[in-house]
Amino acid sequence: MIQTVLSTLIEVVVPLSVPIIGGALIERFQRLDTKPLLTLYLYFLSPAIILDTLAHAKISFDDIYLTAAFTLLNVLLLWGTASGISKVMKFSAPDQAGLTLVSVLTNSANYGIPLVLLAFGQAGLDKASVYIIGQMLIINTLGVYFAARSHFSVKNAVKSVLSLPAIYAAILAMLLRGFDLHLPAEVAKGINMAAGAYSPVVLAILGAQMMKVGTMPSPKGERTAFWIGIAVRMLIGPLLALLVLNLLGISGKLHSVLFILASMPVAVNAVILAERFNASPLFVSRCILWTTLASFLVLPLLIALVSG
């Protein structure tokens, strides 16, 4: 077991850490401006990898149905867990919103895509594609609601979803598959090249953002919420994911991929929503930093368990 964990650590985490460390070092010494890179990621690289993956993904209707059911049920359980803990601990409204964001929103795109590709190969990434798109929808709909229920607007949420090029890339890929059509070879090759740039760019962005979070002042009076957030995302989250996977009877590679994606650290997008709606952004930022650092040790162990 130890040998398997070490092997996973070397073969998966070490390659991922190179662009993360690179981004962190650039931020530390050159003050990397991530806004243009985030625009590149959101409007070009993200739709490119989704279109490239979904257009060629070997995934059955049963996989799509089970992934959608898992995503919905898992989110509901995590939401209920965060709400229950918040009521028992008598958290303030901002801390409750922050804990919900930390619990529900996972970094399945920026971090999950390259991790799954390295750990499970292209077949694993095929299985992961539906879950990742589901997380994008959740972040831009339920994520807004979690961050600011009193400010929630269905109209604005729909606008937010419809503004994402990734959604249209997914629709295009589904249409191409449904009608057994293909993009011109030259266009498909260009999209594949763009998709190849996804992982190093987004991991460098993650490294820079982690460095920024690490230099933020520690929030006062949020220590309890912070540790509970860490426990929910890194301990309770994986246990609930296993429960849902067993309830739905999901097995094989789909089980392994969904379990790892559901065990990912907090999504970077969570702090964007937290800052916008004053949902304890410093608490959320610290959880992003420390769950990401913890994942470098936890995820190899989990990958070894599901792979064994």
93-128: b or e for each residue (b if 16 or more CB lie within 10 Å)?
ebbbbbbbbbbbbbbbbbbbbbbbbbbbeeebbbbb
Q: Rounded to whole angstroms, how far apart are CA atoms 254 and 259?
A: 8
Residue 268 sits at φ, ψ, to 5 deg, of -60, -30
State the DSSP code for 151. G
The fraction of the chain above a pLDDT of 90, given in percent, is 35
Q: Rounded to whole angstroms, how far apart are CA atoms 33 and 208?
A: 9
* pTM (2 d.p.): 0.83
For residue 19, is pLDDT > 70?
yes
For residue 217, is pLDDT > 70?
no
- CB atoms near residue 299 (< 10 Å): 25
- CB atoms near residue 10 (< 10 Å): 11
pLDDT tier at 71, thresholds 50, 70, 90: very high
CA angle 296, 72, 57 (to 5 degrees): 70
pLDDT of residue 248: 96
Do 264 and 91 form a contact (C-beta atoms < 8 A)?
A: no
pLDDT of residue 219: 55
Question: Where do the domains of the chain lie, and which CATH numbers do they carry?
Answer: 2-307 (1.20.1530.20)
For residue 286, is pLDDT > 90?
no
For residue 216, is pLDDT > 70?
no
Q: At what angle do helices 281-307 and 269-277 cross, to 10 degrees?
A: 160
Q: Is 306 exposed, middle or buried (0-12, 13-18, 19+ CB in 10 A)?
A: middle
pLDDT of residue 15: 87
| CA separation, residue 93 to residues 178, 275, 279 (Å) | 45, 14, 8
pLDDT of residue 284: 87
| pLDDT tens column, 218-263 | 555 567 889 999 999 999 999 999 999 999 999 999 999 999 999 9
| pLDDT tens column, 149-204 | 655 566 665 666 677 787 788 889 888 888 888 899 999 999 999 988 888 888 88
How much is the mean pLDDT over the chain?
Answer: 85
3-state secondary structure of 267: coil
| pLDDT tens column, 103-154 | 999 988 778 888 898 889 888 988 998 898 888 778 767 777 777 665 556 6
